[in-house]
Structure 1
Amino acid sequence: MSLDFTGLRRVADEELSTKDTRYLALVRVDLMALYRRWGRPDVGIDDLGEWLCFAFALSDGSKFVLQREAYNPPTPGFLLSATKALFSAEAVERVIGALEIPEAVVVELSDEVLD
């Protein structure tokens, strides 16, 4: 896989279309660690409520987002959703490394990745 993470940058949550991304993994990462490294989260709103979102793009146009419910998250982690080019187990590990938060770990991979 030849993904280049050197151009990783934050993008506005609105730049990601939910139809272009799929759930990839559950990532255990502290909200404050994300905040310290990447700034304030965006707040997205949908039919289910408010979400804290950290959206990112690579220089090749691939995108991913870490998000969780704003007020009552069912897990301390964040859902990682990604565009097609990043939808693999190998890419998950590269994404986690690119976040530059040493304590971030993958808790669970999507069943679609495991198949």
Structure 2
Amino acid sequence: MRTPLIDLRGIRKSYGGGDSPLVNVLRGIDLSIHAGEFVAIVGASGSGKSTLMNILGCLDRPTSGEYLFAGENVATLGSDELAWLRREAFGFVFQGYHLIPSGSAQENVEMPAIYAGTPA
């Protein structure tokens, strides 16, 4: 059996607590994605899609559960290793795009390659 590229086991994410009410956004998500698979994360507004994508992209950490990327537990990675993973393994297209207003479309596309040290 192949090892999934992305393997989520019992992922939970909660916000608040203490003085504010605890909000459970993700409740025990299990998801396995193999290399080459195409996956769509769909759901109603407020259902946790963005939270899940932020965890998958290592922009946020789950409250509990296990996230394995290529068999390695993401929770054990330091900030430099996470930055490498975000730069080398993931690609992001945000809802707000986060483009550089003074740059052309080509310059905006080339920017991640420049930071990765890849010739444009």
Which structure has the larger Rg?
A: 2
**Structure with greater strand percent:** 1
Comparing both chains, which one has the higher relative contact order based on Cα–Cα distances under 8 Å and sequence gaps of 6 or more?
1
Q: Same fold (TM over 0.5)?
A: no
